[in-house]
Amino acid sequence: MGQRVLLIEDEPNIIEAISYILSKDGWTVHTHSDGETAMDKVLQGVPDLIILDVMLPGRSGYDILRDLRADGVTASVPVMMLTARGQAKDRDMAERLGATHFMTKPFSNADILDCVRTLATS
Amino acid sequence: MISFNLLVFVSIAYVVFLFAVAFAAERRAAMGKTAWLRSSAIYTLSLSIYCTAWTFYGAVGYAARSGLEFLTIYLGPTLVMIGWWWLVRKLVRIGRTQRLTSIADLISSRFGKSTFLGVLVTVLAIVGTTPYIALQLQSVTQSIAVFAASSGEVWEAGDLNGAAMWVAAGLAVFTVLFGTRNLDAHERHHGIVLAIAVEAVVKLFALIAVGVFVVWGVAGGIGPTMDLIDASAQSQWAPQPSRWIGLIFVSAAAFLCLPRMFQVLVVENSDERTVSTASWAFPTYLLLMSLFVVPIAVVGLDLMPAGANPDLFVVTLPLSEGREGLAILSFLGGFSSATSMVIVATLALATMVSNHIVVPSWLNARTPGAVVSGDVRDVVVMSRRISIGVILALGYIYFRLSGGGGALAAIGLVSFTGVTQVLPAMIGGVFWRGANRWGAGAAISIGFAVWAWTQFLPSFGVDAVISQAVFDQGPFGINWLRPYALFGIEGIDPFVHAVFWSMLLNTGALIVVSILTFPNPLERLQGAQFVNVYDYSSGARTWSQSAAQAEDLLVMAQRILGGAEAQSIFQAEARSQGKDGFLPDVTPDFISRLERELSGSVGAATAHAMMAQLTEGAMVSVDDLIAVADETAQIMEYSSQLEAKSAEQDRTARALREANEKLTALSIQKDAFLSQISHELRTPMTSIRSFSDILRDGEIEDEARKKFAGIIHDETNRLTRLLDDLLDLGVLESGQVQLNIGEGTLAEVLDRAIMASGVAPDDLVISRRAVNEGVPLTTDLERLAQVFINLISNAAKYCMADDPELRIIVRQINGQTVVDFCDNGAGVPKESQSMIFEKFSRLEDAGKAGGAGLGLSICRQIMTALGGDVTYLPGQGGAGFRVTIPAAVALAAQ
């Protein structure tokens, strides 16, 4: 255990909720709330899984995803996209850019746990 | 005694009756019922305008002065109608095929559409006719004066002039009304023709009634009358052969050449067959008109006091016998004779002036290619109306100047001889192909000059225009130019002298000049059309196998249709005729087809005129020119309409495009809006869901539970606020916001807003200046407060200064109250300033704000609804917002 999850999200309450759920499940959760500096944060210590919000201040989740996939170090890290917009074209965009999974807000805690477990073990 | 008023009443009633007749005829003609209007009877009666007041009154006077010589005036037309009716028929045929509108048109058209000849004949006609119109006015006024005298009134010259003026004005109105009602290419006027036919009956009836009364009522029967005639001096006068021949010739010529006679004889004629009936019916009419002339003259001379004017015997005889009814009838006969002549003469002259002087000058004055504005017809109609007025005015002026003196018959003869100057050119034009415009021009000019010198100018009297010295010695002492003795030949009767010399020189000039000069080819062809009118007019509508050369046609067609198109038309035609190349045989079929092709480009009238030029040599007539100009105007108008339409379509298309762009933009906005709404709703819902899941699943410390429940509570509030804002914005944007107008001061509203915003002084210091805040307001105070609350809350949320401060400054600018809200924070970046009033625009680093970004958008909507505005105020150090409260609202309360 002790796998590391990086949560990039700007809504404080959502950060709190996800951190609580995952911590309880035994994950080590790091959080970051700014888009601009997200890439630096990732490269400081590559996590086992990244949960990435689309609408971030400074830089959009899609741009960050593109960089992650372009960088050899992070290209294979599973990325779960979270979005509150949830339209089909957002999902298409995420998949095209190489998101491992796509989840629309709001989500159930069970769903996000299942998803994190599946992605982390694959 | 006849009351003078009764006479006036009868005259007016008669005129009204004539108006009614003319009007009824026009109505029937308008309904297409023209058959009886074209009948031989109407035609014959309309010819009777030959018998003017000169005939009605003057014939008796003539007989009293010169015996049977008056008969020559009737014999001339009789000879023409019986012996030369085929000439009349030929003129009628030419008039119809060439669409002639007047005698001037005939001459000008025959001689290559010469403008000069048209003007010359028109001037001649006006000069010759003006005295004649004056004569009619004079006869009417004289007969009125007779009645006035018999009822004991003494008429001064001024009264006579006044009466003449009223008659002239009335005739002008009648002629304008019925002569220029519509512009018919054939110049036919059914109303006028029927009115003059009625007048013809009236005058014949009146004259016969007077005659019967004189013979049987006064003289005591035929026997005593014949005895009286035998005993009279008149019966002893032997006819002078030279005068008789001259008079018969002149009256015959005048019958054909007088503008008014040409009008009824040729222009108004719509059926050639009526000519053959008129050939015996009209001489019969003349015979009846002349039947009682001698008895009335002889009895009048016998009964009336010496010195009585024999010209007025027709009226004075019945009056002196106490037959007042008969006298009035006789007056109406004379009135009819005068008015019918004046109406038709004026109409004919007006047509000539308009067609040969006004319209050509008007067309010439227009620069080629200039846009034809207005209707050519308006110009034509107006020029005719004005001409009618001018011609009658000329007649009246002549009447005034001549002083109403002189025997009626003398003036009539001068006129007759004048218009006779057109005869050689007309006869030559119709029978002799060799006659050309040089000849015609010379003939008419010389004839005109000789007539003016030997008869017209002398007619004003010795020393009036020509002095006695000139009569005796000739001008400048040139003996052979004496007016009554040209070339030194003396002793001839002045009338015969004038006729002889003018006709001799006129005809001589026509023949000699025509032989010595050459007609242009078009004139030659036009001549052929006139001389051989029966050959040309048989197949009226088709093009004759003609002089047109295929090459000429091709040249013209290329100019109009463009080279390629014209060539392909010609080539196709040549091929269908089994020929190679581009030049087919010019068949009537081909010409017609080509004309149709051309009409598509230049209009039918122009195409026809152009084809006519090349194929038949017909010159373009004034009517054609009018049609061309008319058509051009219509095409111009049509194309400008098309332009307007296409401009309109462009506008519509642009509007549609804009609307479409707007819709697209709106649709994009809607997508963005929904996406934003979705995001704003889902974010708090995510927290709520997540924490409610955690709470439900249990195993949680109290501390955490409390915290999580608090988050759920806050997020629910956030959702509620968001929905409230959305609904508020929806109402404001729809424009259906219900304003609750109240009164208060700005200070009160600010107080309430600061209180409601719940901002603690520790979080934000608010500085105000109460001095300026006493502004009274009449507006929706709640909504205004809402705006203020939003701005204050924003400052509290976003101002990140160490000691946050908000200054609220009230100013009066241009009569408007402005309230500025300036904080000491970082302010809004320049690039975002234009965005902040948009929905969901939120500065990105304002994560703690917790609003959905609708606040400023709502503020702007509210201020717009209140008639004011809220704008970002840059350059204030921190964020600055300016609320403008409209002057009207602020002032309304003061």
- Residue B792, domain CATH: 3.30.565.10
Q: Which of A21, A84, A107 sits opposite B683 (nearest CB)?
A: A84
In a domain, B427, yes or no: yes
C-alpha distances in angstroms, B597 versus B562, B600, B604? 12, 5, 9
Alpha carbons A46 and A77: distance in angstroms, whole number:
8
Range of the domain at B709: 646-731
B796 and B867 in a common domain: yes
42-101 in chain A: CB under 8 A from chain B: 55, 57-58, 84-87
Q: Which chain B residues are within 8 Å of A84, Cβ to Cβ? A: 678-680, 682-683, 686
B747 and B724 in a common domain: no
Structure tokens belonging to residue B699: 């195993």
pLDDT score at A65: 92
β-pair type (A49-53, A79-83): parallel
Alpha carbons B235 and B245: distance in angstroms, whole number:
19
What's the alpha-carbon Rg for chain B, to the nearest Å? 49
Cβ-defined contact of B691 to A13 (cutoff 8 Å): yes
Say whether residue B703 is in contact with chain A using an 8 A CB cutoff: no
Q: Which of A17, A87, A110 sits opposite B687 (nearest CB)?
A: A17
Cβ-defined contact of B689 to A10 (cutoff 8 Å): no
B179 and B86 in a common domain: yes
% of chain B at pLDDT higher than 70: 80
Q: Which chain A residues are within 8 Å of B844, Cβ to Cβ? A: 57-58
Q: How many CB pairs under 8 A join A and B?
A: 69
To 10 degrees, what angle do helices B40-47 and B273-291 make?
50
B436 and B481 in a common domain: yes
Q: Which chain A residues are within 8 Å of B682, Cβ to Cβ? A: 84-86, 104-106
In single-letter form, the type of residue at position B764 comes to: L
Structure tokens belonging to residue B399: 């009447």
Alpha carbons B575 and B809: distance in angstroms, whole number:
95
Count of all residues that appear for chain B in the document? 894
pLDDT score at A17: 92
Where is the domain boundary, B489, B513, B535? B535
- How many independent structural domains does chain B possess? 5
Say whether residue B847 is in contact with chain A using an 8 A CB cutoff: yes
In a domain, B887, yes or no: yes
In a domain, B144, yes or no: yes
For chain B, helix, strand, coil in percent to 5 are 70, 5, 25
In single-letter form, the type of residue at position B95 comes to: G
In a domain, B635, yes or no: no
B478-530 confidence digits (pLDDT tens): 766 777 766 767 767 778 888 888 888 888 988 888 888 876 656 766 677 67
B525-539, B638-652, B691-705: which is most confident: B691-705
713-752 in chain B: CB under 8 A from chain A: 714-715
In a domain, B412, yes or no: no
Q: What is the ipTM of this complex?
A: 0.92
Beta sheet of B869-872, edge-to-edge order: B765-767, B805-813, B816-823, B880-885, B869-872
Model confidence at B341, in pLDDT bands (50, 70, 90)?
confident
A17-52 confidence digits (pLDDT tens): 999 999 988 899 999 988 888 888 888 888 999 999
Say whether residue A121 is in contact with chain B using an 8 A CB cutoff: no
B856 and B771 in a common domain: yes
Say whether residue B675 is in contact with chain A using an 8 A CB cutoff: yes
Tell me the domains of chain A and their CATH numbers. 4-121 (3.40.50.2300)
Structure tokens belonging to residue B69: 């010589």
For the cut 60, the answer to whether the pLDDT of residue B184 exceeds it is no
Nearest CA in chain B to A58: B844
Structure tokens belonging to residue B544: 């004759």
The reported pTM is 0.54
B583 and B503 in a common domain: no
pLDDT score at B539: 36
Shortest distance, CA B686 to any CA of chain A (angstroms): 4
Structure tokens belonging to residue B601: 């480009």
pLDDT score at B571: 83
Nearest CA in chain B to A33: B847
B173 and B233 in a common domain: yes
Nearest CA in chain A to B671: A87
B848 and B771 in a common domain: yes
Alpha carbons B166 and B591: distance in angstroms, whole number:
56
Where is the domain boundary, B585, B620, B655? B620
In a domain, B766, yes or no: yes
Say if residues B136 and B163 touch (Cβ distance below 8 Å).
no
B692 and B575 in a common domain: no
B682 and B779 in a common domain: no
Q: Which chain A residues are within 8 Å of B691, Cβ to Cβ? A: 13, 17
In a domain, B520, yes or no: yes
Cβ-defined contact of B847 to A12 (cutoff 8 Å): yes
Separation of CA B231 from chain center? 64
**Of B291, B295, B350, B352, the residue nearest B51 (C-alpha):** B291
Q: Would you call B357 helix, strand, or coil by DSSP? A: helix
Say whether residue A23 is in contact with chain B using an 8 A CB cutoff: no
Lowest mean pLDDT among B153-157, B238-242, B609-613: B153-157
Say if residues B766 and B792 touch (Cβ distance below 8 Å).
yes
Average pLDDT on B636-652 reads 77
Interface test with B, best of A9, A14, A21 (most B CBs within 10 A): A14
Where is the domain boundary, B703, B731, B759? B731
B664 and B615 in a common domain: no
Average pLDDT on A94-100 reads 88
Nearest CA in chain A to B678: A85
In a domain, B627, yes or no: no
B10 and B148 in a common domain: yes
Q: Which residue has the tokens 């024999």?
A: B310
